[in-house]
């Protein structure tokens, strides 16, 4: 996933901070709703650990 993964993760987090709903983020970023849900409450450290796997 690499940098593309970090970019996606940051975009989800930024949109969440702006107050968008998961479904709105999913449509805007053209991501599966399940993918958005997976990263919605994930912490940066946890994401970094997942990227190493």
Cα–Cα separations (whole angstroms), residue 43 to 1, 19, 27, 40: 17, 18, 22, 9
Q: How much is the pTM?
A: 0.89
Going residue by residue through the chain (53 aa), what tens digit of pLDDT does each one get? 677 899 999 999 999 999 999 999 999 999 999 999 999 999 999 999 988 88
Q: What is the pLDDT of residue 53?
A: 80
- Give me the half-sphere count of Cα atoms (radius 13 Å) on the Cβ side of residue 30: 0
Q: What is the pLDDT of residue 52?
A: 87
Q: What is the pLDDT of residue 1?
A: 63
Contacts 24+ apart (CB under 8 A), 41-44: 42/9
List of residues 6+ apart from 16 with CB closer than 8 A: 25, 40
């Amino acid at each position: 996933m690499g940098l593309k993964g970090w970019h996606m993760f940051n975009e989800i987090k930024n949109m969440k901070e702006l107050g968008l709903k998961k479904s709105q983020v999913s449509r805007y970023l053209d991501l599966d709703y399940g993918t958005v849900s997976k990263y919605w409450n994930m912490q940066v450290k946890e994401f970094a650990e997942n990227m190493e796997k």
